[in-house]
């Protein structure tokens, strides 16, 4: 950040680090160096975290050959639905914790202010009352970050502008869509037989032994059209 402000780094006007470095608060002052650095980390951290969902997308493509072929051919009509179903089926965080801000009663339970509670994200996204055959991969579920409902909660529920729904969910979906394009159009690969069971006690979740790929080859997507 210091090198950006001093001009030692030659960056374009649209470079995120330059935008943050030049941002001024309501009083016209530049952000403190430490605050500006934290804002850059707040951009990098979720982008890196989305790598978990890209692993899950590759796993889903491996089991859904018909969608791999359609996306490879340029058909994107169900691309976003595919990404959303990956987020529903595979958990980033199986659950999250929170503290009650007020005392209230719900479903016969009395929750005291300050009580810790656990929101079961994975269980909610697999509730058969909302998702028939919840463990099956299906693109007919009509889910998505735009609806901002409480029954599809990959990171939290409600409206991202006022509740604990992840404000980066739309960006996550966009990054996943681009990754799926790359996986299906710009490369070929094989996923050998391996144990891909998710360890739900690990957060963020991943297959217990990771995801192994082999025979990875670059494909010129434009030349193949």
3-state secondary structure of 188: strand
Give residue 86's region: left, alpha or beta (phi > 0; psi -120 to 50): alpha
Q: Report if residue 116 sits inside a domain.
A: yes
pLDDT at site 137: 94
Nearest to 216 by CA among 177, 193, 186, 175: 186
Q: Report if residue 101 sits inside a domain.
A: yes
Cα 113 from Cα 128, distance rounded (Å):
31
Query: Which domain does 64 fall in, by range?
Result: 50-218
For residue 42, give both structure tokens.
């707040």
Cα 40 from Cα 50, distance rounded (Å):
16
pLDDT at site 148: 66
pLDDT at site 224: 46
116 bridge partner residues: 99
pTM of the model: 0.81
Question: Cα torsion at 58, 191, 94, 166 (round to 10°)?
Answer: -20
Q: Say if residue 162 is preceded by a cis peptide, omega within 30 of 0.
A: no
Q: Report if residue 115 sits inside a domain.
A: yes
Q: Report if residue 33 sits inside a domain.
A: no
Tens-level pLDDT at each residue, the chain (225 residues): 999 999 998 899 899 999 999 999 999 999 999 999 999 998 888 888 899 999 999 999 998 889 999 999 999 999 999 999 999 999 888 888 889 999 999 999 999 999 999 989 999 999 999 999 999 999 999 888 777 678 899 888 877 777 767 777 888 899 999 999 999 999 999 999 998 888 777 778 888 888 999 999 998 755 444
Dihedral sign, Cα of residue 85, residue 43, residue 94, residue 201? positive
Q: Report if residue 29 sits inside a domain.
A: no
Core vs surface per residue 154-189: b (16+ CB within 10 A) or e: bbbbeebeeeebbebbeebbebbbebbbebbbeeee
pLDDT at site 73: 93
Q: Would strands 116-120 and 95-99 be described as parallel, antiparallel, or unpaired?
A: antiparallel
Q: Report if residue 58 sits inside a domain.
A: yes
Domain CATH number, residue 54? 1.10.630.10
Q: Report if residue 164 sits inside a domain.
A: yes
Instruction: Report the Cα 185 to chain-centroid distance in Å.
Output: 21
Q: Report if residue 31 sits inside a domain.
A: no
Number of domains forming the structure of the chain: 1
């Amino acid at each position: 950040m210091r090198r950006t402000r001093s001009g030692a780094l030659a960056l374009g006007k649209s470079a995120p680090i330059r935008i943050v470095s030049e941002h001024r608060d309501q009083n016209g002052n530049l952000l403190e160096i430490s605050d500006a650095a934290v804002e850059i980390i707040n951009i990098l951290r979720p982008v890196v975290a989305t790598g978990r969902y890209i692993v899950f997308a590759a796993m889903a493509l491996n089991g859904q050959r018909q969608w791999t072929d359609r996306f490879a051919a340029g058909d994107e009509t169900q691309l976003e639905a595919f990404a959303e179903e990956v987020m529903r089926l595979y958990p980033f965080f199986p659950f999250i914790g929170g503290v009650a801000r007020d005392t209230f009663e719900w479903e016969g339970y009395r929750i005291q202010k300050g009580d810790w509670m656990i929101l079961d994200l994975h269980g909610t996204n697999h509730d058969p009352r909302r998702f028939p055959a919840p463990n099956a991969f299906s693109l007919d579920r009509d889910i998505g970050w735009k609806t901002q409902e409480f029954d599809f909660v990959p990171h939290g529920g409600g409206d991202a502008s006022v509740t604990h729904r992840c404000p980066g969910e739309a960006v996550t979906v966009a990054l996943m869509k681009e990754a799926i394009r790359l996986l299906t159009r710009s490369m070929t690969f094989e996923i050998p037989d391996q144990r891909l069971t998710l360890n739900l006690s690990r957060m963020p979740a991943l297959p217990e032994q990771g995801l192994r790929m082999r025979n990875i080859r670059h494909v010129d997507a434009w030349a193949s059209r």
